[in-house]
Structure 1
Amino acid sequence: MSLVFIFLILLFSSLGLTTAQHNQTLLKKCCSKSRVLNDNLECVQLVSDERFETDIFAIAGYGDVSYNNQPLCPGNVTLVRLVNNFENDSIYCVDKLISEEGKGREELVGLSCVDTPLKEQVYNVQIFTIQKCCPRYYHYNRLKQCVYLAGIDYSEKLVNSLFTENNFDKIQFINMRYGIKETKNRSDVVNDYESLRSKTNYLSSESVKVVYQSKVIDGNNFKGAKFNERIIPFDHACIDIVENNTEHYVVRLYEPYSKVCPSKKCVRKCCRPGYTFVNGKRCEKSNHVFAPRFNIDIHKGNLYDNHTAEDYAVSYGLPNCSNTLTVNFSRAQHYIIYSDGSIQEDDLVARDIEHACVEHVYMPQPSYNYNYLKPFVCSIYNTTGYALNDSAFKYQLITVLLIISTLFAFATLIVYTLLPSLHKNIHGKCLMCYFICVCLFCSVISAVRINPTFQRTNKSLCVIMGNMAHYSTLATVTWLNVICFDIWNKFRNIRAKHISESYLKKFILYSVYGWGLPALITLIMFMAQHYPDWFQEHNRPNFGVENCWFEAPSKNLSFWIFHIVPLTTFIAINIILFSFTAYHCTNTKNQIQRMKLKVLDTALHIECPLYQGPMLPRDYSPTMPIVDQRIKRICHKIQPHINTMIGFSDRISFNVLPPFLPMSDIYVIDVLVHPSFMGRTMFKMNLAQDNLYTAILVHIPEHFCSDGQLIGAQAMRIRHLKSKGFKVVTLEHKILSKLVMYPKELINYISEQMQK
């Protein structure tokens, strides 16, 4: 009896198993599990990009899939494009075709033989297409977006959880796609709708119905939550499992920025879900957290202090920059992500969601691991650290103007080089050095602005350019110091007695200051970069780290010590010297006005008998009036010849100012022939004897009118000296310069003038 019972049980079991196996439909996949068809109907390996990972799944208990079923046809193979519902007794196998001509476009196709169709009916099914948000072995997580767990096939998990307990008459197979279809409008954002499994109904391959919870806000006050029902089409949407929990789904949908972001926080993520920047500028698979914090000052990655997932919508992909995309790798950087997705770095202008994105950056280094969420913004400022306005037009305009300035600076330098008269004195040489610094500075900055990719393409060149820009900036200001000092020194000693000094020695001292001091500061700054004990890492110059300038200048101690402080000091010195020069100019102008009045007073006293003067007090200043250097040089050259003419009983003095006349350059006697007993300091003159004193006056071309007559001041000078008892001899500088090489003719010319 027991044996019969056991036999019956086994019989019914086998019948049930046979029935179950018979009810399950078999779908023949043309290629293996990891291969798809290409345009030539060949089975090829899937690309590494998870967006093209694809497969055909059978719902557990409703169907099964067999692999490697390409038809062995004696003739050609026909490609048949399928729809969701199809019945075809000539199609032998089904698979995915990823077309290279269609730039990765995917479609479901069937293969059959043309000449001798295989009469094997295998299809009476409906194939659903599911758009899964994350790749096959990933599930959705708000913090990390797509989280990878080895060994867990979340595609099968999603399929079974969606369809196992639902009654679909003909649904045995699922065409799985990954990712979310991008929209043409780059400003659209992905909005998340989370729903319970029991509230989610997969209506078709085109749509899904979800019931989601939303906040009820009255003004700024939270009033509670309400449930909303919505049917979401799958043209730009996807569905996935939330966390490792099949009880919650998320439906992600592209929606217009203007619809979502006024009431919900928004941000642009540089890479697609599950990807971040790892060791370079390419997006790589990563499990790093993406948890942007809004409307707070983010500094040194403090956004990871709290991993609470804020409710926000996200847009994917790099911003559409007309210029370059830049990132500040400074660990001292501050930035703010605003609710509308705009990003503000440090004190720069905020960039909107179309021109900025945020991404996690992981770069393991020997000394530290760079592991921060960083903003990437479209570059509209140069890479030397000088912030510009938020207009690309202004950036280009300033670049063009800077190039023009560079060309004019070089033109000025060339003119000064080609014309010796412009650089024969110290002031001209100092100006040439200044223009060299300006040319160097403008050239470096122009090169960086024209090609702001130095930091990425050639870091060594970027460091060199940064140091050159720093050195030329300081050298420009130090040579301005030299020019200001030289002008101030000339005005300060404008009435002092001439001191013979070496121009070469003075220029060497100027060069040591103008070139050497900036070089010393730059050298110390270079050593500060390579001696870690001097500064902490974020306070070093760090040229080439963030860009070709100081890293985070406003918060970098080296920037303040080696750049701001020297510049401020040099500029302050220039201002002080300018103030002193202005004071001396004003003072000299007043002295000149007083001297003119004294000359007028003296002239009236000498030439007008009825004038009761002089009215003004006498001058007792020990300073000497200005004497033209041409007159000084020619007087010393003719001195031996005058000695020969007058003998050694008399003496000769140069640049003598009679004490009874005003201390003006008008009354300076260039060469005075006087009795030897008077000596060189003649405060007591016996003018009672005529012709005892001979005043030799040398006239330069500026002393003559166009008709060859002396100008009024020089004619008055001769009259006044004669009235005081001097014998006046006038010599022309132009004639003396020609005859100085001919002693005999020179002596004859001087003798003739003295005899007149």
Structure 2
Amino acid sequence: MSLVFIFLILLFSILGLTTAQHNQTLLKKCCSKSRVLNDNLECVQLVSDERFETDIFAIAGYGDVSYNNQPLCPGNVTLVRLVNNFENDSIYCVDKLISEEGKGREELVGLSCVDTPLKEQVYNVQIFTIQKCCPRYYHYNRLKQCVYLAGIDYSEKLVNSLFTENNFDKIQFINMRYGIKETKNRSDVVNDYESLRSKTNYLSSESVKVVYQSKVIDGNNFKGAKFNERIIPFDHACIDIVENNTEHYVVRLYEPYSKVCPSKKCVRKCCRPGYTFVNGKRCEKSNHVFAPRFNIDIHKGNLYDNHTAEDYAVSYGLPNCSNTLTVNFSRAQHYIIYSDGSIQEDDLVARDIEHACVEHVYMPQPSYNYNYLKPFVCSIYNTTGYALNDSAFKYQLITVLLIISTLFAFATLIVYTLLPSLHKNIHGKCLMCYFICVCLFCSVISAVRINPTFQRTNKSLCVIMGNMAHYSTLATVTWLNVICFDIWNKFRNIRAKHISESYLKKFILYSVYGWGLPALITLIMFMAQHYPDWFQEHNRPNFGVENCWFEAPSKNLSFWIFHIVPLTTFIAINIILFSFTAYHCTNTKNQIQRMKLKVLDTALHIECPLYQGPMLPRDYSPTMPIVDQRIKRICHKIQPHINTMIGFSDRISFNVLPPFLPMSDIYVIDVLVHPSFMGRTMFKMNLAQDNLYTAILVHIPEHFCSDGQLIGAQAMRIRHLKSKGFKVVTLEHKILSKLVMYPKELINYISEQMQK
């Protein structure tokens, strides 16, 4: 009996030692719990990335981990790359190495001394790798969110529920990783497989076997559910606890779009899980629910449904746009998310899942918080093999037309530059400045549309192009202002004898307005971007943030202040000036028609004795008809010579219109020689016998027919003046221009004409 008792005592002692030895399996971690190794084998804190918040730790009851065990080697420290199972008596500690050279690549390594090994044996250790979907203190829910609960370590909870003595008694330590590794194919979607704990088996660090439930659908009718068994590799997958219930797991897996989406709803989320657009321009961490609704017209984008994890698969990341990514921030927007992930805005052509995404947008406003689920779509498709749709055709058509406009604008500018007759006056120079602005505007817009990739690759160039487009747009309209004002001013002063401003002074003033005002507005806009006190961030111009133009123009205060208001003002001024000019043109045209009738009435009265006229009233307007500037200039040049000829008995007056004749340029006397005791406006009523007045008429080439005879209007002018008692002398402008440098010959020519 005593022998049996002693045998039992020895047996229990051996079993206790074995258990103690099993429970005391120790893994020495080189760094502390929250640190890892870098390329220099130094322990560093990586707090910027949630993936590294958890390190290697032991399964409860199967091992233990000690920390801060870097070897104190007398010589150099060497690095040994490990696999999941290893046995090496020269390794002193084990840890994760995050390689910066490898762009964050993670691996398990061991450290040992090169020259004098410390002979600290590591047992036959198994380190099992788990890819957890959510961070350490988060679990997964059926809204595809990672939910935080303070004080609950879901990493240990997941490990202790997955690995027990019954299903994997050799595992002692866990290497925890977080998130799901993205695939190279941007069209792949993340599909969720929910499984019970009893139906989930971890086969290795590379794969897991799950039994999941799927729907059986016949046509559009739900027929029931069935269970499917699948082994899922962990190269692009992760596992987590569902809804804080250790009896339910979810395995998330990247799968090809063509495999999943024909039978399951799919959608692209612009930001990664747990992130949304804040202020409409960048992905930031958020707790907002991402819950898209499929196959219905979504108005305002703020309707949510509680979809389960099986309802749809999701792809993450911005679409691969060949052009800009656009969004309509209007709260009245309508759009549809189809089951295949394509999105249709209002009545536009639908974009597929590679060219559109959906994201929750949060923008705090003074009066309300903008809080909507909005679609982000590529402005056109430029992917090889994609069928050309209406939007793409319109985009390409507009681009081609812009290029054509640019070429013709440059051609017009070159013609105006090479032909001095086109830019010798102010109007021609204003047109040249206008065409320069048009060329700049068309060139910038064409460059953006032809090669839109620099909007993402070169932000500095993008900002410069945006400011140039803004400046050229304003400058184009301001020079239209100048042209409209110049035309209106000419019609307004069409009968003015003198223009106060000089040619150069007027063009300088025009240039200050045409070039300077847009530059001033652009400069103030540039300062508004760099002075935070002027505008809130979402109300600044923000060129280069989303694209090369204003960020979210319809909601951007800067867009309205620096673009819409100036353009509207300039265009309104153009409309007003155009209206005034049209009024002056119409009024002048009516005056010309009335004057023609008066001339006809006067001609009939003078030349037709039987005519009972004049029928029309006399014109008492004080304004003078327009006289050709060539005639004015040559008359002033010959004035001294005429004074020499007539002496002091008579006086000379220029551009005289007899009061008893209509106020038409036909009856203007270029030079009037009259007695000194009578003024230019005092005429005897009967001059037929007096011949006190000599009317000198200067005829320019346009007054002659091809045979050298005066045209009818000029011949009538002479007849009517003679009938009123004037002595008429006719001089040719062409001859006067040649003789003006020769006084004697000029006097002889005038004398001969006056003696005829």
- TM-score where L is the length of structure 1: 0.70
8 Å contact from structure 1 (residues 199, 211) kept in 2: yes
8 Å contact from structure 2 (residues 140, 240) kept in 1: yes
Instruction: Choose 248-257 or 628-637, whichever is displaced more.
Output: 248-257
Shift of the 53–463 alpha-carbon distance from structure 1 to 2, 3 Å rule, reads closer
Task: Tell me what 2:202 maps to.
Answer: 202
Map 1:46-195 to 2 at 5 A: 140=140, 161-162=161-162, 164=164, 187-195=187-195
8 Å contact from structure 1 (residues 329, 546) kept in 2: no
CA-CA distance at 1:74 after TM superposition? 29
Say which SS state the counterpart of residue 304 (structure 2) adopts. helix
Shift of the 82–626 alpha-carbon distance from structure 1 to 2, 3 Å rule, reads closer
Say which SS state the counterpart of residue 677 (structure 2) adopts. helix
Shift of the 629–540 alpha-carbon distance from structure 1 to 2, 3 Å rule, reads same
8 Å contact from structure 1 (residues 332, 552) kept in 2: no
Asked if 1:297 is matched to 2:268, the reply is no
Deviations 1:465-517 (A, max 9, x none): 44443333222212212211221222234345555653333333333433343
CA-CA distance at 1:650 after TM superposition? 0.8
Task: Tell me what 1:710 maps to.
Answer: 710
CA-CA distance at 1:423 after TM superposition? 2.1
CA distance, structure 1, for counterparts of residue 236 and residue 347 of structure 2: 37
CA-CA distance at 1:733 after TM superposition? 0.9
CA distance, structure 2, for counterparts of residue 94 and residue 556 of structure 1: 54
CA-CA distance at 1:26 after TM superposition? 16
Shift of the 55–653 alpha-carbon distance from structure 1 to 2, 3 Å rule, reads closer
Instruction: Choose 173-182 or 346-355, whichever is displaced more.
Output: 173-182
CA-CA distance at 1:609 after TM superposition? 3.3
CA-CA distance at 1:570 after TM superposition? 1.5
CA-CA distance at 1:195 after TM superposition? 2.5
Say which SS state the counterpart of residue 303 (structure 1) adopts. coil
Map 1:677-692 to 2 at 5 A: 677-692=677-692
CA distance, structure 1, for counterparts of residue 533 and residue 204 of structure 2: 67
CA-CA distance at 1:344 after TM superposition? 8.2
Say which SS state the counterpart of residue 169 (structure 2) adopts. coil
Gap runs ≥5 in structure 1: none
CA-CA distance at 1:541 after TM superposition? 3.2
8 Å contact from structure 1 (residues 56, 175) kept in 2: yes
CA-CA distance at 1:81 after TM superposition? 19
Task: Tell me what 2:222 maps to.
Answer: 222
Task: Tell me what 2:571 maps to.
Answer: 571
8 Å contact from structure 1 (residues 384, 547) kept in 2: no
CA distance, structure 2, for counterparts of residue 272 and residue 300 of structure 1: 23
Shift of the 452–362 alpha-carbon distance from structure 1 to 2, 3 Å rule, reads farther
CA distance, structure 1, for counterparts of residue 430 and residue 387 of structure 2: 31
CA distance, structure 2, for counterparts of residue 109 and residue 500 of structure 1: 90
Asked if 1:44 is matched to 2:39, the reply is no
Shift of the 742–298 alpha-carbon distance from structure 1 to 2, 3 Å rule, reads farther
Shift of the 419–508 alpha-carbon distance from structure 1 to 2, 3 Å rule, reads same
8 Å contact from structure 2 (residues 200, 211) kept in 1: yes
Shift of the 101–440 alpha-carbon distance from structure 1 to 2, 3 Å rule, reads closer
Deviations 1:300-333 (A, max 9, x none): 9999999999954212455343346689999999
Say which SS state the counterpart of residue 580 (structure 1) adopts. helix
CA-CA distance at 1:635 after TM superposition? 0.6
CA-CA distance at 1:736 after TM superposition? 1.0
CA distance, structure 2, for counterparts of residue 50 and residue 310 of structure 1: 27
Shift of the 636–191 alpha-carbon distance from structure 1 to 2, 3 Å rule, reads same
Say which SS state the counterpart of residue 747 (structure 1) adopts. helix
Shift of the 388–488 alpha-carbon distance from structure 1 to 2, 3 Å rule, reads farther
8 Å contact from structure 2 (residues 34, 52) kept in 1: no
CA distance, structure 2, for counterparts of residue 530 and residue 172 of structure 1: 57
CA distance, structure 1, for counterparts of residue 52 and residue 537 of structure 2: 44
CA-CA distance at 1:172 after TM superposition? 12
Instruction: Choose 177-186 or 746-755, whichever is displaced more.
Output: 177-186
CA-CA distance at 1:718 after TM superposition? 1.8
8 Å contact from structure 2 (residues 322, 453) kept in 1: no
Asked if 1:693 is matched to 2:710, the reply is no
Shift of the 543–36 alpha-carbon distance from structure 1 to 2, 3 Å rule, reads closer
Instruction: Choose 245-254 or 91-100, whichever is displaced more.
Output: 91-100
Shift of the 156–344 alpha-carbon distance from structure 1 to 2, 3 Å rule, reads same
Instruction: Choose 681-690 or 139-148, whichever is displaced more.
Output: 139-148
Shift of the 259–417 alpha-carbon distance from structure 1 to 2, 3 Å rule, reads same
CA distance, structure 1, for counterparts of residue 366 and residue 494 of structure 2: 64
Shift of the 430–682 alpha-carbon distance from structure 1 to 2, 3 Å rule, reads farther
CA distance, structure 2, for counterparts of residue 542 and residue 94 of structure 1: 49
CA distance, structure 2, for counterparts of residue 641 and residue 647 of structure 1: 10
8 Å contact from structure 1 (residues 213, 226) kept in 2: yes
Shift of the 665–368 alpha-carbon distance from structure 1 to 2, 3 Å rule, reads closer
Say which SS state the counterpart of residue 353 (structure 1) adopts. coil
Gap runs ≥5 in structure 2: none
Say which SS state the counterpart of residue 232 (structure 1) adopts. strand
CA-CA distance at 1:667 after TM superposition? 1.5
Shift of the 152–364 alpha-carbon distance from structure 1 to 2, 3 Å rule, reads farther
CA distance, structure 1, for counterparts of residue 347 and residue 139 of structure 2: 39
CA-CA distance at 1:194 after TM superposition? 1.9
Deviations 1:419-449 (A, max 9, x none): 3322222212222232233233334434444
8 Å contact from structure 2 (residues 145, 273) kept in 1: yes
Shift of the 658–113 alpha-carbon distance from structure 1 to 2, 3 Å rule, reads closer
Instruction: Choose 681-690 or 341-350, whichever is displaced more.
Output: 341-350
CA distance, structure 2, for counterparts of residue 533 and residue 79 of structure 1: 54
CA distance, structure 1, for counterparts of residue 245 and residue 743 of structure 2: 116
CA distance, structure 2, for counterparts of residue 530 and residue 387 of structure 1: 43
CA distance, structure 2, for counterparts of residue 621 and residue 116 of structure 1: 119
Instruction: Choose 537-546 or 472-481, whichever is displaced more.
Output: 537-546
8 Å contact from structure 1 (residues 399, 450) kept in 2: yes
8 Å contact from structure 2 (residues 193, 310) kept in 1: no
8 Å contact from structure 1 (residues 30, 95) kept in 2: yes
CA-CA distance at 1:189 after TM superposition? 2.8
CA-CA distance at 1:461 after TM superposition? 5.2
Deviations 1:67-114 (A, max 9, x none): 999999999999999999999999999999999999999999999999
Say which SS state the counterpart of residue 424 (structure 2) adopts. coil
8 Å contact from structure 1 (residues 385, 553) kept in 2: no
CA distance, structure 2, for counterparts of residue 230 and residue 118 of structure 1: 46
CA-CA distance at 1:11 after TM superposition? 2.5
Say which SS state the counterpart of residue 171 (structure 1) adopts. coil
8 Å contact from structure 1 (residues 277, 361) kept in 2: yes
Say which SS state the counterpart of residue 388 (structure 1) adopts. coil
Instruction: Choose 253-262 or 85-94, whichever is displaced more.
Output: 85-94
CA distance, structure 2, for counterparts of residue 303 and residue 419 of structure 1: 65
CA-CA distance at 1:633 after TM superposition? 0.9
Instruction: Choose 130-139 or 591-600, whichever is displaced more.
Output: 130-139
CA distance, structure 2, for counterparts of residue 268 and residue 575 of structure 1: 47
Deviations 1:676-705 (A, max 9, x none): 222122354541325322111111111112
Instruction: Choose 587-596 or 479-488, whichever is displaced more.
Output: 587-596
Aligned pairs, number: 756
CA distance, structure 1, for counterparts of residue 204 and residue 620 of structure 2: 113
CA distance, structure 1, for counterparts of residue 145 and residue 505 of structure 2: 72
8 Å contact from structure 1 (residues 475, 518) kept in 2: yes
Say which SS state the counterpart of residue 248 (structure 2) adopts. strand
8 Å contact from structure 1 (residues 656, 668) kept in 2: yes
CA distance, structure 1, for counterparts of residue 359 and residue 398 of structure 2: 31
Instruction: Choose 269-278 or 439-448, whichever is displaced more.
Output: 269-278
Shift of the 477–211 alpha-carbon distance from structure 1 to 2, 3 Å rule, reads same
Instruction: Choose 340-349 or 214-223, whichever is displaced more.
Output: 214-223
Instruction: Choose 740-749 or 531-540, whichever is displaced more.
Output: 531-540
Instruction: Choose 116-125 or 305-314, whichever is displaced more.
Output: 116-125
CA distance, structure 1, for counterparts of residue 230 and residue 494 of structure 2: 91
Shift of the 505–226 alpha-carbon distance from structure 1 to 2, 3 Å rule, reads same
CA-CA distance at 1:732 after TM superposition? 1.1
Instruction: Choose 456-465 or 161-170, whichever is displaced more.
Output: 161-170
CA-CA distance at 1:644 after TM superposition? 0.6
8 Å contact from structure 2 (residues 281, 546) kept in 1: no
